[in-house]
Amino acid sequence: MSNAFDFIIVGAGSAGCVLAGRLTQDPNVRVLLLEAGTAREPLASRVPAAFSTLFKTRHDWAHQTEPEPALGGRRLYIPRGKVLGGSSAMNAMIYMRGNPIDYDGWASGGADGWSYADVLPDFVRAEDQARGASDAHGAGGPLRVEDLICKNPLSAAFVAACEEVGLAHNDDFNSGIQDGAGFYQVTQKGGRRWSAANAYLFPALRRPNLSVARGVHATRVVLENGRARGVEYIDGGQRKIARADLEIVLAAGAIGSPQLLLLSGIGPADELARHGIPVVARLDGVGQNLQDHPFAGVAYHCKEPVSLLNAEGLSALLQYVFARRGPLTSNIAEAGGFVRSKDGLDAPDIQFHFAAAFYVDHGFVKPPGHGFSIGPTLVAPTSRGHIGLRSTDPTAPPVIVGNVLSQASEIAALVAGVRLARKIAAADAFVRFRGSELLPGDGARTDDELTAHIRATAELLYHPCGTCKMGKDELAVVDPELRVKGVAGLRVADASVMPVIPRGNTNAPTIMIAERLARWLAT
């Protein structure tokens, strides 16, 4: 492998795959992609319903927060893919862009050129929509987006129950109108996961101008006279340096990218001083502004044996192996919706994820029998956390402080979400299925009791972002062209640059961000 490249990309997650695939379309551009994971595509990644079996394996960074004060000192688990495709190789595959108001807010807050009208062409460019092209959707792009092949009857009951309680039916959450309930579209192709690696990276692997180094751990950006010139990384126990003639792009995610900046001397002076790291560029926002989507579960036993527990049987396996059909094609969270927890809100602040299964403690706890879950998720959180270094050892996990649900208004919104989830479960559409309530249980009825349930059980939805925010204020780390302030030749392109978390699942927005940067770098 050559030691000199035009571009070095750190991280083969969703953004890194997009950049590697797009940039190497020009045969004269030499690209090195560095990835800590060793696997190309684990078998469990290919099978949609099996994604949670990758949690806490060698394919998962398996991060966790520090003890969360508002949640009784619990540490919250944050799975992150350590594999080609990153977290798009182990997520629930929901294709969700967010609300137009999110991007208009980015632009009005200082991220010039990132309004919804600005970013829509990049969403469309990425997409291969099974329903065909339209004003809001693209066909022929790398990222396949399809309707679910197999829809569980419990998911259909959820959608019908939502309509019973007054929620509008929404057949396309990405049309620009987000309110309502319906089935989610997924990043699948013919019944199998279609990760960012499937979409962008794997087709590019045979290109001679793309080099991919797997099983390597980036340790710092090499800076010379205020410019990023290379990346130091560990490969087989040895430290090596690769050099870039044009630019280096960090795409290591909202946890990995700020950690690498800090190790390189780019960040808050006090944080760097604590670890004896010389300040190369003082950027107080590195690692700040951490956001994620917290959720609290409502779960019921199911009176009929129709849940996704059936995906574990021989019949389901045979359907999948021979026809790519059946319950193993499920993304688990098949249906959902967006609602406003109170009157007067400009956009939904609660998203429902419905699972035709028990989803307790990330799937690690398996209550006996069939069941279903409704997860009210706070998609407009106001709490902010931060990421810092645990030590100067680049392989040590960083310190992650979420400050999750530290605001009373956030708890109130989730209490409203839990109450609405119960109302949906009580609708006539669920009569034949609904058994006893597992969570929160009959003992939780008052606001105080539901608050206690939320504080005892709330988890994160695996959408960390914001820790290298773009903009113009004092905490902005990158400018609207994703250039790290004060350091030439260095950009960040992943969920860390989002100033405010979008209302919805964050994989599609991350891919959009990388599509934009790839287009800029190619001109």
**For residues 97 and 513, is the Cβ–Cβ distance under 8 A?**
no
Residue type, 296: A
What are residue 10's phi and psi, to 5 degrees? -100, 110
Q: Which of 202, 114, 211 is nearest to 520 (CA)?
A: 114
Count Cβ atoms below 10 Å from residue 409 Cβ, excluding itself.
Answer: 16
What are residue 243's phi and psi, to 5 degrees? -115, 145
DSSP string, 66-80: SPBGGGTTBPPEE--
Helices and strands in the chain: count of H runs, count of E runs = 12, 26
Q: Which of 293, 300, 295, 273 is nearest to 284 (CA)?
A: 273
**For residues 125 and 138, is the Cβ–Cβ distance under 8 A?**
yes
CA–CA distance, 440 with 444 (Å, rounded to integer)? 6
- Which residues, in sequence order, are CB contacts of 243 under 8 Å at separation 6+? 3, 4, 5, 8, 222, 229, 230
Tell me the β-bridge partners of 281.
Answer: 266
Active site residue 453: no
Annotated active-site residue in 59, 63, 353, 463: 463
Q: What does each C-alpha distance from 329 to 47, 281, 334, 388, 438 come to in angstroms?
A: 7, 48, 10, 39, 26
Residue with tokens 């009929």, as numbered in its chain: 304
CA–CA distance, 42 with 45 (Å, rounded to integer)? 5
Count Cβ atoms below 10 Å from residue 268 Cβ, excluding itself.
Answer: 20
The catalytic residues are 463
